[in-house]
Amino acid sequence: MCGIAAIINVSNNKSHINKLDLVKMSNALKSRGPDSKGQFISKKKDIALAVRRLSTQDTRNIANQPCESTDRSIVAILNGEIYNHFELRKELILLGFKFKSNNDTEVLANGFKAWKEKILDKIKGQYAFVIYDKISEETLIARDPSGISPMFYTLHDSQIIIGSTIQSILSINNKYYKLYKPAIIDFFLSDAVSNGNTFFKDIRYLKAGFCIKINRNKSYKIRSFKKIKEKFFEYKKLSTEKEYTNKLYELLESSVLKTLQGDKKVGLFLSGGIDSVSIMALIKKISPNTNIKTFSAAFEDSFSHNIVGETQIAKKMSDYYECEFNEVVVSHEDLINNLKNTEQPQGSFIETTIDKLSKKSSEMKTNIALSGEGIDEMFLGYDHYLASIGILDKNFSFLKKKYTLRGDANKLFENRKKKLVNIFLGGGVNLGLIQKLNQIFKINNSEKNRFKNYILKLHNKISNNDIKADIGQQMMYIDYTYKVAENHLRRAEGPAMNNGVEMRFPYLMDDLLDFVYKIPLNLKIGSGETKYLFRKTLDGIVHSDAVRRPKSPFALPGVRSKHYKKAKINYGKPAFKDIIYNNKKYINEIFNDGSFNKEKFINIEFFNTRLAMQKTKNTSFFDGLIWKMWSFAEWYEKKCQ
How far, in Å, are 435, 441, 628 from residue 445 at the CA level?
11, 11, 22
Ramachandran quadrant class, 409 (left: phi over 0; alpha: psi -120 to 50; beta: rest): alpha
**Residues of each domain in the chain carrying CATH 3.40.50.620:** 231-377+482-567
Buried b (16+ CB within 10 A) or exposed e, 382-404: bbbbbbbbbbbbeebeebbeebb
CA dihedral 625, 626, 628, 630 (to 10 degrees): 170
Mean pLDDT of 285-301: 90
- Sign of the alpha-carbon dihedral angle for 509, 511, 517, 520: negative
- CA pair distance 145, 40, nearest whole angstrom: 27
Determine the residue type at 423: I
Out of 60-64, 174-178, 258-262, give the one with best mean pLDDT.
Answer: 258-262
pLDDT for res 412: 65
CB 550 within 8 A of CB 567: yes
Weakest mean pLDDT among 106-110, 504-508, 619-623: 619-623
**Per CATH, the architecture of 231-377+482-567 is what?**
3-Layer(aba) Sandwich (3.40)
CA dihedral 588, 589, 593, 598 (to 10 degrees): -40
Task: List Cβ neighbours of 273 (8 Å cut-off, separation of 6 or more).
Answer: 310, 372, 546, 549, 551, 552, 554
Mean pLDDT of 321-336: 94
User: Is the pLDDT score of 569 beyond 50?
Assistant: no
User: Is the pLDDT score of 148 beyond 70?
Assistant: yes
User: Is the pLDDT score of 384 beyond 90?
Assistant: no
Mean pLDDT of 208-228: 92
Residue 309: count of CB within 10 angstroms of its CB: 28
| DSSP track, 71-98 | TS-EEEEEEEEETTHHHHHHHHHHTT--
Instruction: Say whether the peptide bond before residue 345 is cis (omega within 30 degrees of 0).
Output: no
pLDDT in tens, 455-505: 899 898 888 878 888 999 999 999 988 888 888 788 888 899 989 899 999
- CA pair distance 33, 168, nearest whole angstrom: 13
pLDDT for res 409: 66
How far, in Å, are 205, 337, 349, 355, 536 from residue 341 at the CA level?
21, 6, 14, 12, 43
The DSSP bridge pattern shows strands 152-156 and 204-205 to be: antiparallel
CB 65 within 8 A of CB 78: yes
- CA pair distance 148, 128, nearest whole angstrom: 9
Question: Residue 44: which of 119, 123, 116, 137 has the closest Cα?
Answer: 137
- CA pair distance 301, 620, nearest whole angstrom: 13
Q: For residues 425 and 168, which has the higher predicted lDDT (pLDDT)?
A: 168
> Which superfamily is assigned to 3-224 in CATH?
Aminohydrolase, N-terminal nucleophile (Ntn) domain (3.60.20.10)
Residue 474 has φ and ψ, to the nearest 5°, of -60, -45
CB 362 within 8 A of CB 499: yes
**Residues of each domain in the chain carrying CATH 3.60.20.10:** 3-224
- Band of residue 532 on the pLDDT scale cut at 50, 70, 90: very high
pLDDT for res 561: 44
Question: For residue 307, what are the β-bridge partners?
Answer: 300
- CA pair distance 276, 372, nearest whole angstrom: 5
Burial grade of 510 (CB within 10 A; 0-12, 13-18, 19 or more): middle
Question: Residue 26: which of 6, 47, 54, 55 has the closest Cα?
Answer: 6
pLDDT in tens, 624-637: 899 999 999 999 98
pLDDT for res 326: 97
- Band of residue 106 on the pLDDT scale cut at 50, 70, 90: very high
pLDDT in tens, 50-104: 999 887 877 788 878 899 999 999 999 999 999 999 999 999 999 999 999 989 9
User: Is the pLDDT score of 554 beyond 50?
Assistant: no
- CA pair distance 230, 239, nearest whole angstrom: 21
Segment (H or E) for 334: helix 332-339
Q: At what angle do helices 241-258 and 274-286 cross, to 10 degrees?
A: 80
Q: For residues 166 and 156, which has the higher predicted lDDT (pLDDT)?
A: 166
CB 526 within 8 A of CB 533: yes
Task: List Cβ neighbours of 217 (8 Å cut-off, separation of 6 or more).
Answer: 12
Weakest mean pLDDT among 453-457, 574-578, 580-584: 574-578
- Band of residue 416 on the pLDDT scale cut at 50, 70, 90: low
* Mean pLDDT, the chain, integer: 88
CB 533 within 8 A of CB 379: yes
User: Is the pLDDT score of 509 beyond 90?
Assistant: yes
pLDDT for res 484: 86
- Band of residue 6 on the pLDDT scale cut at 50, 70, 90: very high
Mean pLDDT of 381-408: 86
| DSSP track, 149-175 | S--EEEEETTEEEEESSHHHHHTT-GG
Buried b (16+ CB within 10 A) or exposed e, 100-131: ebbbbbbbbbbbbbbbeeebbeebbbbbbbbb
pLDDT for res 641: 64
User: Is the pLDDT score of 288 beyond 60?
Assistant: yes
Question: Residue 417: which of 440, 434, 401 has the closest Cα?
Answer: 434
Segment (H or E) for 359: helix 350-363
Question: Residue 601: which of 629, 622, 624, 625 has the closest Cα?
Answer: 629
Segment (H or E) for 252: helix 241-258
How far, in Å, are 325, 464, 631 from residue 291 at the CA level?
11, 49, 39
pLDDT in tens, 356-374: 999 999 999 999 999 999 9
pLDDT for res 156: 81
pLDDT for res 560: 47
pLDDT for res 555: 44
CA dihedral 625, 630, 633, 639 (to 10 degrees): -110
- CA pair distance 106, 125, nearest whole angstrom: 15
pLDDT for res 59: 77
Question: Residue 487: which of 432, 440, 439, 553 has the closest Cα?
Answer: 553
Ramachandran quadrant class, 526 (left: phi over 0; alpha: psi -120 to 50; beta: rest): left
Mean pLDDT of 596-611: 93
